[in-house]
Amino acid sequence: MKRAALVATVAVGLAGTGCVPDWAQTNTSPYILEISSISPLHVFSDVQIGEGSIINDDVQVSVNAFRKNNNADLSTSPVQHMYLERYEVRYFRSDGRNQEGVDVPYRITGPLGNVRFHTITQSELELTVPITIVRHQAKLEPPLRNLRFVAGTDTGTEQDGGAVVMTTIAEITVHARTVQGDALVAVGNVQVSFSNFADSASTGE
């Protein structure tokens, strides 16, 4: 009799677990972090401007935070604060050629200065932070440096603007942490096209 009761209890427990949606199990905290938008939608990264100058490329990343439990009767408190800690950018290509330093730039990481989300209310909170998606250094290293010159070398005559284009997807990962110490992660993608563009059309959406 006891065994039958135990089996019934386990079955009920498994059934209850099966009813929990995947998004509610993404982390151990009671909150979810998501990247709601990245602007611009398409980054045109110029590997050289004017007489050899280079600049980094930034995007604006909007992040949402909201509760897994949307019960309107839940109260709020300062212990529900969370902090944006750091970000990572990883590049990949649709043709599968993804060796860093050869086919795509090296991945980068950077701090977000522990930017704080205020106490969570019943509504979603949104915060927009600037993120450097392509650093200066990446344009001085292969494969981006190779886009500046003919035949993929770092010597000789530089290419005319727009002669060669490399299209990649930049995967942006934002890392955050709650006051209680629970880790939160949000991921978003944006297209980045690299080339020695004509100076009048170096960036855009």
pLDDT in tens, 18-34: 565 554 455 567 788 99
Helix (H, G, I), strand (E, B) or coil at 197: coil
| DSSP for residue 9 | H
**pLDDT of the residue at 88:** 98
The pLDDT of residue 182 is above 70 = yes
Q: List the single range of 71-75, 85-89, 102-106, 163-167 with lowest mean pLDDT.
A: 71-75
Buried-exposed string 157-193: b where 16+ CB fall within 10 A, e elsewhere: eebeeeebebebebebbbbbbbeeeeebebebebebe
d(CA 42, CA 186) in angstroms, rounded, equals 19
Dump pLDDT digits (tens) for 38-97. 999 999 999 998 778 899 999 999 998 887 766 655 556 666 788 899 999 999 999 999
Looking at the whole model, is its pTM more than 0.85?
Answer: no
What mean pLDDT, rounded, does the chain reach? 79
Structural domains present in the chain: 28-201 (2.60.40)
